[in-house]
Amino acid sequence: MIKEDVELKMSCGLPDHSDSMVTDEYKLKQVLNNLVGNAVKFTEKGHVHFGYAIKGNEIEFFVKDTGIGIDQRFHADIFQRFRKAEPSSSKIYEGAGLGLAICHSNLELMNGKINLESEPGHGSLFRFALPYKPAKTLPPKDSIASKVPETASLKGVNILVAEDEILNYKYIEDLLAGTGVNLISAVNGSQAVNYCRDHNDVHLVLMDIRMPVMDGLEATRRIKELRPELPVIAQSAYIEKDRQPQVREAGFDDFLFKPFLKEELMDAIAGFLYKRETGFFGTDQ
């Protein structure tokens, strides 16, 4: 559940190691985060379903929700300016107009297109298509994780994921599905610090660098003051050159560049939690 009474579902249209494409990563993430963020914001009950599929030489993404919906009268210009969902509704798409305009502009720059299916009270379905250019991918690297027995699991392991973007958290959740791990979500650094302070059963932290309220650098410094032995792995798409010394000095135990593969994530976790003497992930029981 991403919020009370709302479930986030995800459908992947390509197998592992084949789901990389050549595109503008920043613009694509901005589009997805805007669409999914709006769907979550305006859905009070039900689900938000995100996914993608290959259709000919295009890749089509969709974001479907069971939210308040948008009157068909506003479909033609919903991507250009702020609108109420309907004149009599108290629900207003506050900030959604600008976000949808950004989506439309980004997709035009990427030679893509977007459309909307929606009606008041019946949710919304946004679809957008982009040219599909598969990227060359390397085979999984030889790692600690790849040598772990197939029966290995993360059962009994509590990992705190400090991440403010819903899709990024869901991605990590999907990568670790079936391992038995217990994931805890924190949407900013302050929440992460408070949770680690109040819960001694956290075994590892995956920390985003850029977050609201308190960034990952300050959060990691404070966590290390409270629990110096707790492994904190940084995760970020990029680090500005002038912040690299701060990242090193903050106390991170490892670093993952987004987007990372399952093998890379498991390898990082394995480096701290894999017990060679017991042959499984987790703490000794």
Domain count of the chain?
2
- CATH number of the domain that 24 lies in? 3.30.565.10
Same domain, 219 and 109: no
Q: Which residues pair with 204 in a beta bridge?
A: 159
| Alpha carbon of residue 13 to chain centroid | 17
How do the pLDDT tens digits run along the chain, 285 residues long?
Answer: 567 788 888 888 776 556 678 888 878 988 998 898 889 888 999 999 999 999 999 999 999 999 999 888 888 778 874 444 444 443 445 445 567 888 888 899 999 999 999 999 999 999 999 999 887 654 554 444 444 444 347 889 999 999 988 888 888 998 898 899 999 999 999 999 999 999 999 999 999 998 999 999 999 999 999 999 999 999 987 665 556 677 778 899 888 887 788 888 998 898 887 643 333 344 444
Last residue of a domain, one of 98, 131, 164: 131
Q: Residue 278: what pLDDT?
A: 38
- CATH number of the domain that 245 lies in? 3.40.50.2300
Same domain, 114 and 148: no
Q: Residue 88: what pLDDT?
A: 43
Last residue of a domain, one of 99, 131, 163: 131
Q: Is 208 left (phi over 0), alpha (psi -120 to 50) or beta?
A: beta
- Strands 232-236 and 204-208, by their bridges, are parallel
Same domain, 108 and 150: no
Q: Residue 240: what pLDDT?
A: 54
CA distance to 4, 89, 173, per residue, from 7 (Å):
8, 24, 13
